[in-house]
Amino acid sequence: MAPEFKNFIAGEWVAPASGDYFENRNPADWNDMIGRFPRSSAADLKRAIGSAQRGFGQWSKTPAPIRGQVLLRVGQLLVERKEDIARAMTREMGKVLAETRGDVQEGIDTAFYAAMEGRKLFGRVVPSELRNKWAMSYRRPIGLAGLITPFNFPLAIPTWKMFPALLCGNSVIFKPAEDVPHTAHLLVEVLLEAGLPAEVVQLVHGQGSVVGRALVEHPEVPVISFTGSTETGSAIGATCGKMHKRLSLEMGGKNAMMVMDDADLELALDGVLWGAFGTTGQRCTATSRLILHEKIHERFVQMLSDRAGKLRLGPGLDENADVGPLIHEEARQKDAEYVDIAKKEGASVAIGGRIPQGDKRLECGWFYEPTVLTGVSRACASSRRKSSDRCSLC
């Protein structure tokens, strides 16, 4: 029986008001169920907002150096649990252990950085133009910060958003991606153990279209930070603009890497392989286009095809794996569709472009071969339609 997890609202681990849950499964082995997580509703969010307001009232009055000490302890706990959290993250979202260890390290670095800023939240003394006046400014926290985070960096990105907000005295409402709720649960456990007052952080699981939308549209949440698709981010931007909310958006990209004829080709190749196939290409910063000087085009495509063909597909928990699975079946199907579109538009598959066959280790996961497409037209490569992040286009 898979464990059943809860939201963290009003200082307690609580079931969703609806009683509904969703399954969280290992993308490398769909038979491995990590747990069942709350399919929360607007009612759960409303309760979380009320609690976060109380938490803000307490936390905003806590001196910044003391807030920094809590985050310092968070960093220390993450150091102690780095391997356990990395392994849990790999099981949940698929990328290889070398990457999830780096993901946790980013959280550690962010915690220590934010902790030190607790001694630097200086105000300013401003020269007055009037002889009998003295002017100064000081920093005040804004209030509640609604944080909506993606699946690809399940610990790093939440910490980038959360730790600075907490250090500055804000309370946070954390809505993680539905694909990575367990890593979010582990992070909140660390925060609480480090001494963060219970009502300063709220963890509300669920669908972005329900919980995320309610968070963005709520008038008492003045700060929103979102990382995800350009389409969703545009809608959030429009809503926050109308409501005069402070907003941070990190959305999709269509990134190109240029390699000139005088480049160190081996060094460039290392960059392309990491940029295109790291995190199984599931990053807004993924290298999805290569622009190659004509003098080295054929040579570099061959080098890339040779090296990409040697990348080892496998479960991320396998230390020998170079590339893990995609996050879910829909993502793999989308990749296959984009490769078909590219071929119809005249591109050729230099390597990959298939669901792997004949390897029992990969049969129950959402794996797709690293793919290199050549002969891509200017119109196709620069199209606003986002082609597969798991492919490198030459």
Q: Is 201 helix (H, G, I), strand (E, B) or coil?
A: strand
- Alpha carbon distance 358, 365 (integer Å): 13
Mark whether 20 and 90 lie in a shared domain.
yes
pLDDT at residue 2, rounded to an integer: 86
Environment class of 346 (CB within 10 Å of its CB; exposed 0-12, middle 13-18, buried 19+): exposed
Which one of 228, 250, 272 terminates a domain?
A: 250
Sign of the alpha-carbon dihedral angle for 279, 281, 286, 292: positive
Which pair of tokens denotes residue 145? 């910060």
- Find tokens 């910060």 and name the residue: 145
Boundary of a domain, candidates 250, 285, 301: 250
pLDDT digits (tens, 9 = 90+) for 323-344: 999 999 999 999 999 999 999 9
Task: Give the pLDDT confidence score for residue 391 in this predicted structure.
Answer: 52
From 250, 345, 364, 380, the catalytic residue:
250
Q: Does any domain span residue 231?
A: yes
Say yes or no: 364 and 325 in one domain: yes
In 3-state terms, what secondary structure has residue 393? strand
Exactly one of 284, 369, 391, 394 is catalytic; name it: 284
pLDDT at residue 384 greater than cutoff 70 = no
Confidence of residue 376 (pLDDT cuts 50, 70, 90): confident
Give domain status of residue 1, yes or no: no
Nearest Cα residue to 188 out of 82, 74, 280, 270: 74
Question: Cβ(7)–Cβ(21) under 8 Å?
Answer: no
Residues 146, 185, single domain; the answer is yes
What is the reported pTM? 0.93
Nearest in space to 332 (alpha carbons), one of 361, 365, 368, 360:
368
CA 305 to chain centroid: 29
User: Is the pLDDT at 388 greater than 60, yes or no?
Assistant: no
Q: Is 284 a catalytic residue?
A: yes
Instruction: Please list, in sequence order, all residues whose beta carbon lies within 8 angstroms of the beta carbon of residue 344, skipping any fewer than 6 positions away.
Output: none
Read off the pLDDT of each residue in 172-199 and give the average, rounded to a whole number: 98
CATH number for the domain spanning 279: value is 3.40.309.10
Q: Is the pLDDT of residue 383 over 70?
A: no
> Average pLDDT over the chain, rounded to whole?
94
Provide the residue range defining the domain that includes 300: 255-393
Tens digits of residue pLDDT in 125-173: 999 999 999 999 989 999 999 999 999 999 999 999 999 999 999 999 9
C-alpha to C-alpha distance for 253 and 137, rounded to whole angstroms:
38
| Token pair for 273 | 């392989």
Any domain includes 2: no
Q: What pLDDT does residue 393 have? A: 60
> Quick one: pLDDT at residue 253?
85
Q: What is the mean pLDDT of residues 49-76?
A: 98
Q: Which one-letter amino acid corresponds to residue 144? A: L
Residues 264 and 208 in one domain: no
Task: Give me the CATH number covering residue 184.
Answer: 3.40.605.10
Is 322 inside any structural domain?
yes
Residue 186 pLDDT: 98
SS3 sequence of 128-155: CCCCCCCEEECCCCCCEEEEECCCCCCC
pLDDT at res. 77: 98
CA distances to 14, 123, 192, 327 from 62, rounded to whole Å, are: 27, 17, 16, 40
> Domains in the chain: how many in total?
2
Q: CB-based burial of residue 3 (10 Å sphere; 0-12 exposed, 13-18 middle, 19+ buried)?
A: exposed
Q: Give residue-wise pLDDT tens across range 250-286.
A: 998 889 999 999 999 999 999 999 999 999 999 999 9
Q: What is the pLDDT of residue 392?
A: 56
Nearest to 116 by CA among 61, 188, 68, 152: 68
